[in-house]
A = this chain, B = another copy of it.
Amino acid sequence: MFADERKTQILFLLNQSQSILVSDLATSLDVSETTIRRDLQDLEEQGLLKRTHGGAITFQMASFEPSMVEKADFYAEQKMQIAKQAVAMVKTGDTLLLDSGTTTLQMARILPDQNLTIVTNSLPIGTELSRRKNIKLVMLGGELRSNTEALVGAYCEMILQNIHVDKVFLGANGIDLFKGVTTPNSAEASTKRAMIQTGRQVILVADHSKFGQIHFAKICDVKDLSCIITDELPSAEYLSEFTKQNIAVKPPLSDAWEEDG
């Protein structure tokens, strides 16, 4: 039996049972386990299955996303990476402003229960943090936008004009070198703009898909940011511009960084 025949056979067997053992394959195909492992490695590189310890499984078996998780949020894992990076910037005693958004919500979830003051305009973030003992929570008020569960408007901005925080963690839908940071809704853009005014450091959290996107309402220019946390380095063009404007860019993989911006 040729190697390619064997690989086809492996895929056939796998599709029947959804998961399969290296040892079983070795027995039934009458080759050593080493050979099977090499085959599985090839097949995984071709994206045809997912290896596990002791065997392999189909992608349907491996991926939780499609039907399982309610929100078909494809970037859930990346957002968690970004959230971890962001949380790493937080120090005990800090006063933070968390904008509404899924990434900042993840941040709130993994925020350590240390002495902190958190300001937010996001209802779910508020609910999440309301149970924490060592976190002092200040909600911004205002009208609720139901799509984003964010509070916006004049009342919100009225409070923002009266506070000052150490770090603002901002979400956005698009980042473009020329058009700046943008979002679809103008009321939210206005609120986000007010948020930027309240913070010494403005940190944008955005996955790589946001680079190059442009949406209706402009929030600010790229130069108004102190730091961008993302999951994948943007193109050299973006990077050099960020460097020129002294904006720190933090992808999740690296470890040590300076904490200025």
Contacts and interface: CB of A to CB of B under 8 A. Distances in A.
Contacts of A109: 47, 50
Nearest to A56: B2
A141 B137 CA distance: 10
B143 A54 contact: no
A4 B44 CA distance: 15
Specify how many copies of this chain sit in the oligomer. 2
A35 interface: no
Given A11-B69, A126-B144, A139-B141, A2 B64 contact: no
Contacts of A64: 7-8, 11, 48
A260 interface: no
B155 A130 contact: no
B139 A142 contact: yes
Interface in A60-82: 60-64, 68-70, 76-77, 79-80
A27 to B, nearest CB: 18
Interface stretch (A88-96, A156-164, A170-178): A156-164
Interface string A29-71: 0000000000000000111101011110110111110001110
Interface residues of A, number: 62
Contacts of A141: 138-142, 151, 155-156, 159
B62 A4 contact: yes
A4 B143 contact: no
A149 interface: yes
A236 to B, nearest CB: 30
Interface in A93-133: 106, 109, 123-124, 126-128, 130-131, 133
A253 interface: no
A5 interface: yes
A66 to B, nearest CB: 11
Nearest to A106: B47
A15 B47 contact: no
B77 A2 contact: no
Contacts of A133: 146
Interface of A: 1-5, 7-8, 11-12, 15, 19, 45-48, 50, 52-55, 57-58, 60-64, 68-70, 76-77, 79-80, 83, 106, 109, 123-124, 126-128, 130-131, 133, 136-144, 146, 149, 151, 155-156, 158-159, 162
13 contacts: A4-B57, A5-B57, A15-B68, A46-B77, A47-B76, A58-B70, A127-B127, A130-B149, A138-B142, A139-B151, A140-B141, A141-B151, A141-B156
